[in-house]
Structure 1
Amino acid sequence: MSDYKFDTLQIHAGSAPDPATGAVQTPIYQTTGYVFKDADHAARLFNLEEVGYIYSRLTNPTVSKLAERVAALEGGAGAVCCSSGHAAQIMALFPLMGPGLNIVASTRLYGGSITQFGHTIKRFGWSCTFVDFDDLDALEAAIDDNTRAIFCESISNPGGYITDIPAVAKLADKAGLPLIVDNTLATPYLCRPIDLGATLVVHSLTKYMTGNGTVTGGCVVDSGKFDWSASDKFPSLSAPEPAYHGLKFHEALGPMAFTFHSIAIGLRDLGMTMNAQGAHYTLMGIETLSLRMEKHVANAKAVAEWLENDPRIEFVTYAGLPSSPWHERMKTVSPKGAGGLFTVAVKGGYEACVKLVNNLQLFANVANLGDTRSLIIHSASTTHRQLSEAQQIAAGAAPNVVRLSIGIEDAGDLIADLDQALSAATA
């Protein structure tokens, strides 16, 4: 369906009337197992000689339809869905990494990702070097013989910083490394990292893709363009796989090598499976993705402009504002807008931020984003609490900053709510 436009793909990609019943919506296949036609059919499936369903830890028809739709929207060759955005990050790294190997990641990441890469992956024997991706010389210097991937966010959480994906992708190509881009905040409606040179795209489907705060989910999309056999750096994909009688994934499966490896080995052994009902909710959410993102962007721009001119505010980080240092970059990386998330520094510091959060009525104080409703959180005391103050500042989550996720309500109502809460916070 690659010839269709985005608004058509978000409804039809990966979806067709159910052949058994004629149902228009993709059914929820609430099952763990699937009957094989015969013993030979089962053997072919287990030997990756035929595509089909074996067990729902690996593949499920509802989840597979979701993966097809996200891959189509991102312009990828294939995709695999999993249980959360954090699971997607591990799934993306799993075929690439091994003990003693490292990744290079942007300093401007979600706090949980900084913790995952800075601490948790060390238990696998992996490590991460964090670099300011605006300093391309520092980024290149951080890459060594043991580096296996470069990781960034298209639009960063929480500060709304926009990564120069084409420049980073050029550097990754020079080093012979895959570039992994977390596209959660932008969604493929605002940014298509693969078109800009990324190898893999990860999503927390929990956020804008589902859009209603009901389920958690993650996805990894493969561009299908990286040559995993160009060096000996990625043996999981280029070398014989003992568990499949010496099958070489890249040689046998070409552009689908990463996707099949992620299912046949990643989900098989890590078990970070997405459930069918969660996939169903996300499929329904994606049907209105473009409509919601347009409203998110329009509302965010209106609220950010009002806040920028308010004397109670020190600064606003929204890249959709002409004053933002990332505004020109937005036109290349995210031409339809800077998303619906940004941070605000409140005069009065930490205490004023706490009072602001406590006095809002429409904005919910929630550790989530990308919902249809507007959300707020004080990142330094919650999502980024585990970081040092220096790390918080580097990530755009300083103690005097709150994160706003602007929903699709009436913009005037949101501004009025912020106005009364700021009056209480700075009295």
Structure 2
Amino acid sequence: MSDRLPGFSTLAVHAGAQPDPTTGARATPIYQTTSFVFNDADHAASLFGLQAFGNIYTRIGNPTNAVLEERVAALEGGTAALAVASGHAAQVVVLQQLLQPGDEFIAARKLYGGSINQFTHAFKSFGWNVVWADPDDISSFERAVTPRTKAIFIESIANPAGSITDIEAISTVARKAGVPLIVDNTLASPYLIRPIDHGADIVVHSLTKFLGGHGNSLGGIIVDAGTFDWSTGGKYPMLSEPRPEYHGIRLQETFGNFAFAIACRVLGLRDLGPALSPFNAFMILTGIETLPLRMQRHCDNAKAVAEYLAGHPAVASVSYAGLPNDKYNQLARKYAPKGAGAVFTFSLKGGYDAGVSLVSKLQLFSHLANVGDTRSLVIHPASTTHSQLDDAAKVKSGAGPDVVRLSVGIEDKEDLIADLEQALSA
């Protein structure tokens, strides 16, 4: 190619990939192997000592996974990425590099219910403490900062309500506090929002959702923006201090603007072990090739469905940032001008019982705990994904008892509306 920078759709198809040098295969092969042969003893030693890049063992890295990592890093505008077994695994690996026992991180209240549970309960066993802040009140993040704060975590488009988070404003808080901003970009995908462009230092995804897009493969990914100086203030010893397992290497000093991605690989993935299967990496790569086409169709369908629901007499309210009168519409116009995403919620006038009843009557929408599929999906969060929360916490997270969540797929929008009509009428 010329010196022209490739566009998003071109990167979605080509970034990170070349024809296989041995066979000429154009599609990235599935390197379904546990380990890789070394050239000689010196080669092996250099790989294990981080003095050379290459393949050792699929738990640490794999050529199929490497293409996926390069592609998502390119789409997000990051310096490097690391693929892992799930979105939850990505969050564990990221925070392991940042937090010591007794440390804190600030998280937005509006998050996927599984993340709320992970942060509140599972992370306690590591001695990591979450402090909650309100993404609609930026000052709440400022007030939550203490000397023990080591990171801020938000979602670009929050699950389940589809609300848009003011990334730049929260990035300003993180900069002032001297901590990295971590953005879960799962619901937006880089097609709609690139958080690094708005001040994020680390981006995570559940690859299971829109990036893979077909509901057939679990995966997660961590993208290093290369923007944070890990050596200042001694806050992040995993990156700034000599690593005894690597002969005293300081990762920040040695690897510069992709040091965080290296730390996640050689300190997190290596020891915690949540490796992504090469087969799943292949499936997710295939899905990413059509990401721009799918995401636009998702958004167009979601807006049509939201407009229909907003006018239905059985519906009390619709929370979709793509609607002109929605409280997040201005943020959607700023951060996601191509579309406000495909996941949103609406409330039924019949409350909890009406929500439970509706999901059982839908026929085209599948009732299951996932989002980001080509198929349209529905769930009642208060009785499922957010059921571990008390009623007050459910409401704060956007999952009140009368709320139904939709993940709108790429079917014909007329068929989706007809399915909702028959279920609401029944």
Would you call these one fold, judging by a TM-score over 0.5? yes
What residue in structure 1 maps to residue 124 of structure 2? 122
What residue in structure 2 maps to residue 318 of structure 1? 320
What residue in structure 1 maps to residue 146 of structure 2? 144
* TM superposition shift of 1:134: 2.0
| Deviation per residue, 1:241-265 (Å, 9 max, x gap) | 1111110000011011111111111
The 1:262–1:52 alpha-carbon spacing in structure 2 relative to 1, beyond 3 Å, is same
Q: Which amino acid aligns with 2:89?
A: A
Secondary structure at the counterpart of residue 94 of structure 1 = helix
| Deviation per residue, 1:86-142 (Å, 9 max, x gap) | 001111111101100010000000111001111110100110011102212221110
Secondary structure at the counterpart of residue 59 of structure 1 = coil
Distance in 2 (CA, whole Å) between partners of 1:185 and 1:256 is: 25
The 1:277–1:169 alpha-carbon spacing in structure 2 relative to 1, beyond 3 Å, is same
TM-score (norm 1): 0.98
Distance in 1 (CA, whole Å) between partners of 2:180 and 2:255 is: 18
Pick one of 37, 40, 43 that aligns with 1:38.
40
Check the 8 A contact 1:14/1:69 in 2, yes or no.
yes
What residue in structure 2 maps to residue 157 of structure 1? 159
* TM superposition shift of 1:14: 0.7
What residue in structure 1 maps to residue 206 of structure 2? 204
Pick one of 178, 186, 189 that aligns with 2:188.
186
What residue in structure 1 maps to residue 271 of structure 2? 269
Distance in 1 (CA, whole Å) between partners of 2:31 and 2:204 is: 24
Q: Which amino acid aligns with 1:55?
A: Y
Pick one of 220, 230, 233 that aligns with 2:235.
233
What residue in structure 1 maps to residue 295 of structure 2? 293
1:240-389 mapped onto 2 (5 Å cutoff):
240-389=242-391
What residue in structure 1 maps to residue 177 of structure 2? 175
Distance in 2 (CA, whole Å) between partners of 1:58 and 1:280 is: 17
Q: Which amino acid aligns with 2:57?
A: Y
Check the 8 A contact 1:2/1:72 in 2, yes or no.
no
| Deviation per residue, 1:356-384 (Å, 9 max, x gap) | 11111100001001000100000000000
| Deviation per residue, 1:287-344 (Å, 9 max, x gap) | 0000000000000000000100111100010000001100001111212111001001
Distance in 2 (CA, whole Å) between partners of 1:255 and 1:148 is: 19
Distance in 1 (CA, whole Å) between partners of 2:188 and 2:137 is: 22
Q: Which amino acid aligns with 1:283?
A: L
* TM superposition shift of 1:2: 8.9
The 1:255–1:2 alpha-carbon spacing in structure 2 relative to 1, beyond 3 Å, is farther
* TM superposition shift of 1:169: 0.5
TM-score (norm 2): 0.99
Distance in 1 (CA, whole Å) between partners of 2:258 and 2:109 is: 31
1:80-119 mapped onto 2 (5 Å cutoff):
80-119=82-121
Distance in 2 (CA, whole Å) between partners of 1:2 and 1:170 is: 32
Distance in 2 (CA, whole Å) between partners of 1:171 and 1:217 is: 30
| Deviation per residue, 1:9-36 (Å, 9 max, x gap) | 0000010100000000000000001000
Percentage of pairs with the same residue: 56
Please tell me the root mean square deviation across aligned C-alpha atoms, in Å. Answer: 0.9
Distance in 1 (CA, whole Å) between partners of 2:393 and 2:271 is: 33
Pick one of 55, 64, 67 that aligns with 1:65.
67
Check the 8 A contact 1:373/1:406 in 2, yes or no.
yes
Distance in 1 (CA, whole Å) between partners of 2:32 and 2:138 is: 48
Q: Which amino acid aligns with 1:96?
A: L
Pick one of 20, 36, 40 that aligns with 1:18.
20
Structure 1 stretches of 4+ with a deviation exceeding 3 A read: none
Q: Which amino acid aligns with 1:391?
A: A
Q: Which amino acid aligns with 2:366?
A: A
Secondary structure at the counterpart of residue 317 of structure 2 = strand
Distance in 2 (CA, whole Å) between partners of 1:133 and 1:335 is: 20
Distance in 2 (CA, whole Å) between partners of 1:211 and 1:267 is: 24
